[in-house]
Amino acid sequence: MIRATAILVFTFSLIVLNSSAERPKKEDASNDQARMIGAWSLVSTEERLTDGTKRPYLDVGPKGKGYLIYSADGHMCATGMNPDQPAWKDGNKPTDAEKLRAMDGFFGYCGRYEVDTANQVMYHYPEVALDPSFVGSKQKRPYTFDEDLLTFSDREKMPGVEGYTITWKKMK
């Protein structure tokens, strides 16, 4: 009887310890989703090139400005621009060159999103975008949190580019 009781107590202890060990992971996962909700301001962008050098994203430049917004109902919007772009001489009638320069210094898309908390990956599903080839795509964004910073970082498939890092700061 004592042996059976000891086995039961030991088994019950293992079950309790195992379930309490799992609880923080599940709580962290739901916290990740909750932490995403809100508005984020662009801090920095970086592309790591295959020759070992680094540069900011070409479309936003070294002082890029942008916003990333996640809603609780599963929608998102991301925009960014190069603030060093010169203003159009005539805001009502920009030249073709001014339009192209503005387009090269901007990114923007909105749509749905999902968070795969187990793998720390965010997926964006653009439904509207400056770049028409983005519409209907699945954009993988591996993420990490560091206090009020959200960082996306991954390998890249572009020629000459090895990987990227984009850092956003939660707005208060």
pLDDT digits (tens, 9 = 90+) for 5-59: 333 334 334 333 344 444 444 445 568 889 999 999 999 999 999 999 999 988 8
Give the side-chain half-sphere CA count within 13 A for 89: 4
Question: Of 112, 43, 55, 35, which Cα lies nearest the Cα of 80?
Answer: 43
* First-residue to last-residue Cα distance in the chain: 61
Helical segments of the chain, H only:
2-36, 96-104
Region 61-86: what's the mean pLDDT? 95
- Please, are residues 42 and 64 in contact by the beta-carbon 8 Å criterion? yes
pLDDT digits (tens, 9 = 90+) for 81-140: 999 988 999 989 999 999 998 888 899 999 999 999 999 999 999 999 999 999 999 999
- Please, are residues 60 and 47 in contact by the beta-carbon 8 Å criterion? no
Give the global pTM.
Answer: 0.78
d(CA 112, CA 23): 28
Q: Give the pLDDT confidence score for residue 29 in this predicted structure.
A: 52
